Structure 1
Amino acid sequence: MLGMLAAAPLSASGLAAASDSAHAQPRRSPSEPLRRYREYVSELAKKDQFSGVIMVAHRGRPVIAEAYGMADKKLGVRNRVDTRFNLGSASKPFSTLAIVQLAEQGKIEFYDKLGTYLQGFRPEVAEKVTVHQMLTHTSGMTMAWDPSRITYSREELWEIVRKALREGELQFTPGTQHAYGGACLDALGEIVTKITGMSYWDYVHEHIFGAAGMTGSRYYTRTEWLADPAIAHPYMLQADGSRVDALRDLKASAVIGGPGTSPARPFVGLPSVGAFSSAPDLVRLAQALQNHKLLTRPYTDLYVGPKFPAAPPPGAPSPGPTRREAFQAYGLNSTILGDFRVIGHGGGVGGGNANWNVYLGHDWAGVVLSNYDLDSKLFMDILGKEREAITSAAG
């Protein structure tokens, strides 16, 4: 039987047990695809090809909740269901969600130009790029970034990013193309700081993580990461097939998941990358979005709705006979898959992969968090098995 079948809802304090069996939800019989998904990942873990957590939840209740491998091999700390992982780019939707919250409050307009809020950018960037284009990866913005640099404070990192953004150029006329990147997200984070008077990190902690009950989610600093055994260390694949702890060896570089980079070199994550969360917290996020705890219904629809056609990521699993339409939403991927609308985001860093999906209208969510960086085919195979399991169970 699958782990955590029909468990209680994910409360703010963790995986809570139902206190009154008379009010417990009836147990859901696991479908064959759900069982196959769990067994598939379990076999990968036995071969040391996967380390991390998978979770499938229905109405906030975990149907599958499994942890594999080690969070810290040196200290012998195992991954747990509530272990926190570096999300990489899977944290990008937090910065766009913050902007939509401010728009709902009338503090920002989607059609405004970047120069309305921030100064020092090249004229062609400041006067042409709109907030909407930054939210949809259609701005054409770039930034001059040195991935080998190690930073030692929030202030140092933020100053480097601000300078790099202002040195960036346009790679195409804003609004004419879609090009996934991080510059636009980091600029949006700076806008959040400018409008609210709070640091970007503090704003997200209070108005997104706090509002959604994501008590373990945070932009942890490298110092906090190293000191907390509940945060998984990133084990980066090397050319010889070995894995190195990127948190303890800042000179080591990734072979995949951003070749030449290391997720631990920046002192703290940015609006474009590097928040930390757990599988239960990401299920809480899915529930908060669907229950309009973070935005009112109209602005939730605006946030998750398709904005710009986007090709599926390289190696994305084939939908088979099911028709698929992929779009860019406001920082989210928004996909029509047969009878399903799926929103979410993935991420890859040296020593880690992450993905969270919400199946709108069906009350299902899927989370995959890993502290191994996986080749794209393997990661897409895992996500394909997750999708098959959820669509079968929901259908």
Structure 2
Amino acid sequence: MNNWILREGAPEQAGMRADRIHYLENSVQQWVGAGVTPAAAMLVARKGVIVSHKAYGPLTPMEGAPSLAKDSLFPLASLTKPLTATCILILVEDGKLDLFDPVSRFIPEFVGEGKEAVNLHHLLTHTSGLRPDDVRDHTTRQEAAGITVPEPEPTAHPHIHKYLLLGCGTPLWKPPGTEMRYLDYGYRLLGEIVQRVSGHSLHQFATERIFAPLGMNDTFYVVPDALFDRAVRRSESLAGGGWFGTPDALRYPSPSGGAYSTVRDMAIFGQMFMNGGRYGQTRILSPITVREMTKNQIPGVPATSNDLTFREGSWGYGWNVRSMKQDDSGSLRSQRAFDHGGAGGVRLLIEPDYDVLWAYFPIVTDKLYTRNLFHNMVMSGIEE
């Protein structure tokens, strides 16, 4: 298996066409100029060669804002989930847990009829049988009833701790494993399990076992105050505009959507997966673990999203897996492609069949959806 280290180079060194890469860059720049996306950062690499690494637009919507830089910190939103999933799989490799252990083994507060059958595999694949609206409604009723929760451990964030425990009694919607319903709360439970099993906060565990070893020095669940001025902000009229990039958000270590990073750091993370779990001399995961994380773990299980039902959800452990389904990241994808996106526009996509990866972090508006167009243009640049 190849062990590529990301390095700058010409498209021709990676078997790609320079004219197509220039066309891609010009297209993104034009989208920013036309206000399709207020700002965007991008990195495209093939066979370890970075063929494009650009940033366009302003850092924030404020008048006189500095330009977006290639090392600006973007809110990852749900792109945080592969990071949290990787922490769980590291604990599996450490012999601390198994993916088919019941959630209640680690979180005894997770109670209710049938919930003893919900395991970590279900949380990772969004097949727990819980629905987001049900969790929210149950939590609201618990708060209204004046239910209190125990004081959090020093490693826990008070608000995340409170929300997590108030939601633990939410009744199941369906038996676990029968339908996929995307669930942020499931990843909050996974983050709590990392904390309880390891004895460290998710931020500390991920930093020590993933970010620092890989040299992902600009990736954080909790952004240091000194780096706040590098954080991307978006207009309050856009998704997450009133939250992402605020001091509270930068300090909010949500396992489902709280991390911040750069396109280069996330490309390193993606390259580690493409390399079978290693990057240079550093091994984060075994090749077997990577294979399990990036294959369809729920064959034949349908998915429901926005009141639409799909024949098969096709999800791995922390990753959206292309398999045979259609999705929103372009037509020119192989069946082994895997990716994850986040609210507001960010996405990381890995194409192991073509040795290609890209991190594209636009700010989504309602003018034009561009991630699918971006992917198709990337793939059009492959010549050999």
TM-score w.r.t. length of structure 2: 0.78
Could you tell me which of 165, 168, 176 is aligned with 2:167?
165
Unaligned runs of 5+ in 2: 144-154, 279-283, 307-311, 324-331
The aligned residue for residue 261 of structure 2 is 277
Unaligned runs of 5+ in 1: 1-7, 11-15, 251-263, 315-324
Q: Which is worse superposed, 71-80 or 58-67? A: 71-80
State the one-letter code of the partner of 2:339.
G
Is contact 1:234–1:246 with CA below 8 Å preserved after alignment?
A: no
**CA separation of 1:172 and 1:31: change in aligned 2, threshold 3 A:** farther
The aligned residue for residue 110 of structure 1 is 99
Any idea what SS the aligned residue of 2:71 has? coil
CA–CA distance in structure 2, aligned partners of residues 99 and 56 of structure 1: 28
Quick check: 1:367 aligned with 2:355? no
CA–CA distance in structure 2, aligned partners of residues 160 and 267 of structure 1: 16
Structure 1 residues 34-113: aligned runs within 5 Å: 34-50=21-37, 51-72=39-60, 73=62, 76-113=65-102
**CA separation of 1:127 and 1:208: change in aligned 2, threshold 3 A:** same
Residues 359-392 of structure 1: per-residue CA shift (max 9 Å, x gap):
113221111113x3423x723xx22222212333
Is contact 1:59–1:287 with CA below 8 Å preserved after alignment?
A: no
How far residue 179 of structure 1 moved from its aligned partner, in angstroms, is 0.4
**CA separation of 1:100 and 1:77: change in aligned 2, threshold 3 A:** same
The aligned residue for residue 345 of structure 1 is 340
**CA separation of 1:361 and 1:278: change in aligned 2, threshold 3 A:** same
The aligned residue for residue 383 of structure 1 is 371
Q: Which is worse superposed, 29-38 or 155-164? A: 29-38
How far residue 167 of structure 1 moved from its aligned partner, in angstroms, is 3.6
**CA separation of 1:386 and 1:206: change in aligned 2, threshold 3 A:** same
Any idea what SS the aligned residue of 2:167 has? helix
The aligned residue for residue 235 of structure 1 is 235
Is contact 2:333–2:351 with CA below 8 Å preserved after alignment?
A: no
Residues 41-96 of structure 1: per-residue CA shift (max 9 Å, x gap):
21111122211212211123221222111113356221111211001111111111
Residues 251-309 of structure 1: per-residue CA shift (max 9 Å, x gap):
xxxxxxxxxxxxx5584131111211111111101111222222111111111111125
The number of equivalent residue pairs is 340
Could you tell me which of 351, 356, 369 is aligned with 2:348?
356
CA–CA distance in structure 2, aligned partners of residues 248 and 333 of structure 1: 26
CA–CA distance in structure 2, aligned partners of residues 355 and 137 of structure 1: 19
Structure 1 residues 152-191: aligned runs within 5 Å: 155-191=157-193
CA–CA distance in structure 2, aligned partners of residues 307 and 247 of structure 1: 32
**CA separation of 1:326 and 1:117: change in aligned 2, threshold 3 A:** closer
How far residue 247 of structure 1 moved from its aligned partner, in angstroms, is 5.8
Is contact 2:28–2:40 with CA below 8 Å preserved after alignment?
A: no
How far residue 181 of structure 1 moved from its aligned partner, in angstroms, is 1.0
CA–CA distance in structure 1, aligned partners of residues 245 and 220 of structure 2: 20
CA–CA distance in structure 2, aligned partners of residues 210 and 56 of structure 1: 23
Is contact 2:16–2:382 with CA below 8 Å preserved after alignment?
A: no
CA–CA distance in structure 1, aligned partners of residues 58 and 253 of structure 2: 23
Give aligned-pair identity as a percent: 23
The aligned residue for residue 212 of structure 1 is 214
Any idea what SS the aligned residue of 1:55 has? strand
Any idea what SS the aligned residue of 2:351 has? strand
How far residue 238 of structure 1 moved from its aligned partner, in angstroms, is 5.8
How far residue 160 of structure 1 moved from its aligned partner, in angstroms, is 1.8
The aligned residue for residue 329 of structure 1 is 316
Quick check: 1:141 aligned with 2:142? no
CA–CA distance in structure 2, aligned partners of residues 66 and 312 of structure 1: 36
**CA separation of 1:176 and 1:65: change in aligned 2, threshold 3 A:** same
**CA separation of 1:111 and 1:121: change in aligned 2, threshold 3 A:** same
CA–CA distance in structure 1, aligned partners of residues 241 and 111 of structure 2: 40
CA–CA distance in structure 2, aligned partners of residues 81 and 25 of structure 1: 23
**CA separation of 1:17 and 1:385: change in aligned 2, threshold 3 A:** closer
Any idea what SS the aligned residue of 1:103 has? helix
Quick check: 1:123 aligned with 2:112? yes
Structure 1 residues 189-338: aligned runs within 5 Å: 189-221=191-223, 224=225, 228-237=228-237, 246=243, 267-291=251-275, 292-293=277-278, 294-309=284-299, 327-336=314-323
RMSD: 3.3
How far residue 207 of structure 1 moved from its aligned partner, in angstroms, is 1.2
Any idea what SS the aligned residue of 2:100 has? coil
The aligned residue for residue 146 of structure 2 is none
State the one-letter code of the partner of 1:236.
E
CA–CA distance in structure 1, aligned partners of residues 244 and 255 of structure 2: 20
CA–CA distance in structure 2, aligned partners of residues 248 and 132 of structure 1: 32
Residues 167-213 of structure 1: per-residue CA shift (max 9 Å, x gap):
42212111111101111111111111111000111111221222322
